[in-house]
Amino acid sequence: MRAHPIARIELCLDVSDLDRATAFWTETLGYAPAGTAGQYRSLIDPNGHGPNLLLQQVDDVKHDKNRMHLDLHAQDIEVEADRLVALGAQRLDPEPLREAGTAWIRMTDPEGNEFCVCQLQPHDLGARD
């Protein structure tokens, strides 16, 4: 048994433009900026339910697939994907991908960091024609 269990999870995302990333992710997640220290900006869920998102300004540019990414669950992934494109995201797949009862659209934020917009599907919708 651990003496000090993990109290919360914070996700850290490397970005090259801290202000642009802040604008995108606060609007995307409905989070609020909670402070800046040097090259870091913390975003928090105002309802206190979601993990914090720490944006870290770095000089290097993303080249390969993320080793960790966000899955954003939505009621209608097409509507949400369109909203995110209007905020500066790019859609990577023309059609949603489907597997194991979930449909998702792979996207990137304005800096090329990958994330997915996901929706649970009834079993009959996940079947191929």
Q: Of residues 67 and 14, which shows the higher confidence score?
A: 14
Domains of the chain (ranges; CATH) run 1-60 (3.30.720.120), 68-129 (3.10.180.10)
37 pLDDT above the threshold of 70: yes
Q: Which residues contact 119 (CB under 8 A, 6 or more apart)?
A: 73, 74, 75, 76, 77, 96, 102, 103, 104
Q: Is the pLDDT of residue 55 over 90?
A: yes
Q: What are the DSSP calls for 56-76, one per residue?
A: EE-SSPP-S--SS-EEEE-S-
pTM attached to this predicted model: 0.76
Q: How confident is the model at residue 62 (pLDDT cuts 50, 70, 90)?
A: confident
- Which residues are 70's β-sheet partners? 115
Task: Quickly state the pLDDT bin for 126 (edges 50, 70, 90).
Answer: very low
Cα three-residue angle 125-30-41, rounded to 5 degrees: 125
